[in-house]
Amino acid sequence: MYETLAEQPNAFVQGFDEQRAYSETLKRARELLDAQTEVHVERFVVEILSGLAASWFGLPTSEAGLQRLFVTSKFVFQPSPEPALRKQAQRAGPELKASYDELTKQPASDHGSFLAELFEAGANHDERTTAVMSLVSGFVTATYGSVMAALDSWIESGSLWRLSAVADYGALRRALVQALRERQGPTVLHRTCVKETTLGGTTIARNSRVVLGIGSASNDDAKSEFTWLFGGNYGAQKHACPAQAMAIGVMLGLIAALRERRDLKRLRRFVLGYARPLEPSAAPPMDAEAPATNGSNGSHSSSVEA
Ligand code: HEM
């Protein structure tokens, strides 16, 4: 079942070229920044990501839809979600599915998008919704969490404006990978052990829940690849992220465009975080105008000195 459902979306994003992701993101991001006299970094990031998701996957997401995406993603990534978050996610998930169900009814006009590909391949309505939803969810929330984590860390250390010029793609890429090894979003993964397993001398019983620290794993050996940020190597690890190249390209495009906007340097404070922390007693309505939920990683509602 998993293999059948995951095969098409995973293949689509796995085949996506990092350079293509970078240049399309940079172009869009430059256009948006040129049109803005004031930049709200997190809104800028979310707007670019949802625009790219609409273009590449064929599914636009409204402001309310974005809130639902962040709630459900945070719920899925948290090993022990609080009851208030569980309640919100139980509502947001079906609402999100219902809105995407509407959008995947019609043949996609956007040629080349994933949804258009599904129509051409004869996927039925339910398959189309599930497949496209899985990509939009992974794309927007995880990329948002990661790029904000990197920016957050560079702003805190004061190194954002010292990063090498946009022309030096390799250096910017190395700086991003290093930043994500130090601070990431999501920070943990949770799994259920399907058979008794011994790791480092400890036996883990079948059906135990295991929480894996992505941060510690990716910092374990400075020379190791950074793929633990993505749940491992897709193919070698069954549920690892298939979109590593796409995600790196998109994050670099966003960062490169922001760095060109030199006037951001004058901002004394950056407010990072798509969301305010959830308040259990006052669960926000899903259709509220303002963003009201934490991101996939849940910990980026911080203000830091630039
Ligand atoms: C920097 C950005 C990203 C990070 C850090 C990230 C991280 C991850 C992680 C850790 C997993 C494993 C989850 C688990 O096993 O519980 C995962 C899975 C997944 N990611 Fe990403 N991801 C990112 C971007 C993306 C993008 C851009 C897409 C799609 C366009 C995407 C789509 C997926 C999908 C579909 C899965 C599930 C794969 C499966 O189980 O077959 N991710 N991602």
235 sits in the region (left: phi over 0; alpha: psi -120 to 50; else beta) called: left
Q: Mean of the pLDDT values across residues 75-103?
A: 92
Task: Report the C-alpha gap between 154 and 139 in whole angstroms.
Answer: 22
Q: Which atom of ligand 1 is nearest to the CA of 237?
A: 15
d(Cα 188, Cα 191) in Å, to the nearest integer? Answer: 10
The model's pLDDT over 238-282, given as tens digits with 9 standing for 90+, comes to 788 999 999 999 999 999 998 888 777 655 445 444 443 333 334
Residue 283 has pLDDT above 50, yes or no: no
Q: For residue 2, name the pLDDT band (cuts at 50, 70, 90).
A: low
- Residue 132 has which token pair? 């496209």
246 lines ligand 1 (CB under 6 A): yes
Share of the chain above pLDDT 70, in %: 80
- Confidence band for 194, pLDDT divided at 50, 70 and 90: very high
* pTM of the complete model: 0.85
Q: How far is the CA of 229 from the centre of ligand 1 (A)?
A: 9
Q: Which amino acid is at 76?
A: V
| Residue of higher predicted confidence among 294 and 91 | 91
Distance from residue 267's CA to the centre of ligand 1 (Å): 32
Specify the pLDDT at position 9.
87
The rounded Å distance from CA 244 to ligand 1 centre is: 8
Q: What residue ranges do the domains of the chain occupy?
A: 2-186+239-305
Crossing angle of helices 169-182 and 143-157, rounded to 10°: 90
Q: Please count the residues of the chain.
A: 306
* Position 89 confidence tier, pLDDT thresholds 50, 70, 90: very high
Distances (CA, A) of 50 to 8, 47, 66, 208: 21, 5, 8, 36
Ligand 1 nearest-atom number relative to CA 146: 1
pLDDT of 286 over the 80 cut: no
* Cα-to-centroid distance, 180 and ligand 1 (Å): 15
- Structural domain 2-186+239-305, CATH architecture: Orthogonal Bundle (1.10)
Tell me the C-alpha distance between 28 and 109, whole Å: 20
pLDDT of residue 1: 56
Check if the beta carbon of residue 164 is closer than 8 Å to that of residue 213: no
Contact 128/118 with Cβ under 8 angstroms? yes
Nearest CA to ligand 1 atom 23: 142
Q: CB–CB of 147/172 below 8 Å?
A: no
Look at ligand 1, atom 29, and give the residue with the nearest C-alpha.
139
| Contacting residues for 38 by C-beta, under 8 A, at least 6 apart | none
d(C-alpha 209, C-alpha 286), whole Å: 30
The mean pLDDT of 195-202, rounded to a whole number, is 91
**How far is ligand 1, taken at its centre, from the CA of residue 283, in Å?**
27
Residues β-bridged to residue 189: 212
pLDDT at 169 over 80: yes
Residues 258 and 304: their CA atoms lie apart, in Å, by 17
Mean pLDDT of 228-235: 85
